[in-house]
Amino acid sequence: DGGITQSPKYLFRKEGQNVTLSCEQNLNHDAMYWYRQDPGQGLRLIYYSQIVNDFQKGDIAEGYSVSREKKESFPLTVTSAQKNPTAFYLCASSPITGRGVDTEAFFGQGTRLTVV
């Protein structure tokens, strides 16, 4: 089945620890995105990538890092510099057409990160 796979579903982080969230897609999409969702707030963009080995900061990139070594993979690392990491993290992908941005975005099932 084609889709986006996020793992793990639940993740617990101790104070001062870095953790990495996995996102894999087999849709052959060029663009991938990481969003953060907090209760009562809309989704906010952390990082995005439109091509392998290139990525851009979103609105709330501080305390996070990403890599895009393969087209199908876009892992997100939550570093110890992120002071309030408890949230629901969603990965998305979309194709990029010659016409620009008239394409549909697809999402994974999310990872819930909790600081313990």
Residues that bind another protein (CB under 8 A): 4, 6, 31, 33, 35, 40-43, 45, 48, 50, 58, 88, 90, 92, 94, 96, 100-110, 112
The C-alpha atoms of residue 19 and residue 27 are separated, in whole angstroms, by 26
Q: Distance between terminal CA atoms of the chain?
A: 35
Closest to another protein by CB, 85 or 108: 108
Q: Are 82 and 66 in contact (CB under 8 A)?
A: no
Place of tokens 């969003």: 35
Instruction: Supply the minimum distance, in Å, between the C-beta of residue 60 and another protein.
Output: 12
**Shortest Cβ distance from residue 58 to another protein (Å)?**
7
**Residue found under tokens 């993290």:** 89
Can you tell me whether residue 87 is helix, strand or coil? strand
| Cβ distance to another protein smaller for residue 73 or 88 | 88
From the CB of 90, what's the least distance to another protein, in Å?
Answer: 6
CB 79 to another protein: min, Å: 22
Rounded to the nearest 10 degrees, how much is the dihedral formed by the CA atoms of 64, 38, 59, 69? 40
Question: Measured from the CB atom, is 80 or 107 closer to another protein?
Answer: 107
**With respect to another protein, which residue has the nearer C-beta, 98 or 100?**
100
